[in-house]
Copies of this chain bind each other. A is one copy, B any other.
Amino acid sequence: MRAGPSQEDIRRHNLGTLLRYVHVRGPASRATLAESLGLNRSTIMALTADLTAAGLVREELPRSPGRRAGRPSLVVRPESTRVYVLAFDVGVDRLAVARVGLGGVVLDRREAPHEGRGPVEPAELVATLAGMARSLVRKAGRDAVCVGAALAFPGIVRRGDDVIRFGPNLRVGDVTLGEMLSRRLALGVPVAVANDANLGAIAEHERGAGVGYDDMVYLHGDVGVGGGIIVGGRLLGGQDGYGGEVGHMGVNPGGRMCSCGARGCLESEVGERTLLTLAGRADLTGVTSREAVRAIVDAADRGDVVARDALHQVGTWLGRGVANLVNIFNPGLVVFGGTLRDVYLGSAAQVRSVLATEGMAAPRERVRLRTAQLGDDTTLVGAAEFAFADVLADPLHVLARLRDPEEEPVGS
Contact = CB atoms under 8 A, between A and B. Distances in A.
Interface string A191-204: 00000000000000
B262 A358 contact: yes
Interface string A207-227: 000000111000000000001
Contact of A238 (B9, B43, B234, B363): B363
Given A156-B362, A215-B238, A362-B242, A37 B3 contact: yes
A239 interface: yes
A330 B241 contact: yes
A393 interface: no
On chain A, which size bracket covers the interface? 35 or more
A74 interface: no
Query: Which of A241, A261, A328 has the most chain B CB atoms inside 10 A of its CB?
Result: A328
Query: Which of A21, A327, A362, A363 has the most chain B CB atoms inside 10 A of its CB?
Result: A327
Contact of A328 (B213, B240, B328): B328
Query: Which of A5, A234, A248, A357 has the most chain B CB atoms inside 10 A of its CB?
Result: A248
A122 to B, nearest CB: 18
Given A3-B14, A37-B1, A239-B331, A360 B246 contact: no
A249 B250 CA distance: 10
A239 B330 contact: yes
A165 interface: yes
A331 B11 CA distance: 34
The 3 closest A-B pairs by CB, nearest first: A238-B330, A4-B10, A242-B330
Given A262-B358, A324-B324, 8 more contacts: A3-B13, A4-B5, A4-B14, A158-B362, A236-B329, A239-B331, A242-B330, A245-B360
